[in-house]
Amino acid sequence: MVHLQIEIPTWTEFENQLLYSALHLAESGTIKFTYRFNTSLRPATSLLHINGKTCFMD
């Protein structure tokens, strides 16, 4: 199973699309999905952690 964690600075349209997509995948049972707020990130950015690897989204 894939573990996906998303860190977001605030809840905006950009993050909403990302979170909605992750929730859709989680419903299929193919991933375990969690998210958390990280106020040190700039607005409209996020960090994706997938099985121990990190991706910066801008």
Is the Cβ–Cβ distance between 56 and 25 less than 8 Å?
no
Q: What is the distance of C-alpha 48 from the center of its chain?
A: 5
- Length, in residues, of the chain: 58
pLDDT for the residue 42: 92
The residue range of the domain holding 28 is 2-57
What is the rounded end-to-end Cα distance, in angstroms, of the chain?
Answer: 26
Following CA atoms 35, 42, 48, 18 in sequence, which dihedral angle do they give, to the nearest 10 degrees? 70
Residue range 1-58, pLDDT digits in tens: 889 999 999 888 777 888 888 888 888 888 888 999 999 999 888 999 999 999 998 8
pLDDT for the residue 50: 92
Structural domain total, the chain: 1
pLDDT for the residue 47: 93
pLDDT for the residue 37: 94
Count CB neighbours of 9 within 10 A: 17
pTM above 0.75, yes or no: yes
